[in-house]
Structure 1
Amino acid sequence: MINKMQILSLTALGNLDAYIRYANSWPMLSAEEEKLLAERLYYNGDLDAAKTLILSHLRFVIHISRNYSGYGLPQADLIQEGNIGLMKSIRRFNPEVGVRLVSFAVHWIKSEIHEYVLRNWRIVKVATTKSQRKLFFNLRKTKQRLGWFNENELRIVAQELGVCSEDVREMECRMSAQDISFNPFPDDESSDRKLTTVMTHLRDNTSDFANGVEEDNWEMHATNKLTNALRILDKRSRHIIRARWLNENNKITLQEIANGYGISAERVRQLEKNAMKKLRTAIEA
């Protein structure tokens, strides 16, 4: 496939208006021309055909990227991400499906722009799951029409988007929140103001690191004692204890063990009882 930088450099270098004029200077392809080029790429790996398909569709990327200008992100970056989606779509386009390339590519173009917006709109991500991403972009469009939601508007939006009211309210709160620096004061040694950070005043009441370490140490200690205690048992008794108590995924019955050793289930129970007494004595010592 054509080198990405050959396309991306058009937005990274020079004037954006010059890039838009360049993109619009490429003629739009007829259905027959597009199919011929797509077949050359699909069947023969023709890179010149791929380049022509990309350049003739740059105008569509520009058009789609304008729909995302309200997020406060550079238009050139939005176009650049859309171009990546365009190239991905051309690499996957099958000319035998019977649809125009732009109809197929629009999903890939929007997908790359969506990912860019979610990565860069805020320092803290507002949407991580697929459903949250869909709600984020749909809610942006809806809020342009309704503004801030009251309870009635909240129910209407939730019904329109096919989600519950709580999800809409949570996403609205995320979108209206502002990022706050952990160090809002300038790091200037000449300043008389004493430096401090928000992190200095944070306390996590849900975590107790000391207790966690103590529990881990005790678990390791208990495991070591049990391992040493098992060594005093004979091979058969050790196997019975492991099969009956230490194998969580596949515990077996007394009868199954008895069948394996050719003895009665009652004899296995007696061996198990004696082995448990020896283990208890060894562990408590």
Structure 2
Amino acid sequence: MKSFPKPLTAEEEAYYLRRYREGDMDAKRILIERNLRLVAHVAKKYVNQGEETEDLIAVGTVGLIKAVGTFNHQKNNKLATYAARCVENELLMLFRNRKKVSRDVSLYDPIGTDKEGNEISLLDILESEKIDVIEQMQQKNNARKLQWLMEKELDDRERCILRMRYGIGREKELTQREIAEVLGISRSYVSRIEKTAIEKLREMFREEIENR
């Protein structure tokens, strides 16, 4: 595990907390950086849960940032104690969310059937070139709806990963490992984002179909 800055002394912590309460954002940065060792310590408890260490630290750091931003010195004695709970909560939320999308999902998975009883997938909708005029119009409407849902329901990183993963928009299809190298994140993180994004689209598209 990489080296992190030394923790603040009690006097230093009190000083930078006071500076931060007075609006000094540089003090906030220092409070975060000097508590990264705490994030690594908490994340170490979960290294055997199927996540890359760097991803655990990245997620835990979000908890640390929230802790520094919401710490109340009048209610909490030590920032480290409060931050450790926030970091752990963020990591536990990660694992809860992972369970919701734990099974393998793909744009190739069926979401329904066409009028002839053939299974169709989200990718079929995006790439359909049916000869039947009526069905082609329906597919085009579905494709526009799906593109709209991607813009509305997914964040920038989710859209980017799906486009690279499935060649949407005539981009070359990339593997999860290739995408990880492009974005500078781990393959497992790419996989998790892909699954989450697809699950969002599947649920929203089914709702759109059912509400027609």
| Range of TM-score over shorter length | 0.3 to 0.5
Question: Which TM-score applies when normalising by structure 2?
Answer: 0.47
Question: Which TM-score applies when normalising by structure 1?
Answer: 0.35
- Structure with the bigger percentage of helix: 1
- Structure of greater relative contact order (alpha carbons < 8 Å, 6+ residues apart): 2
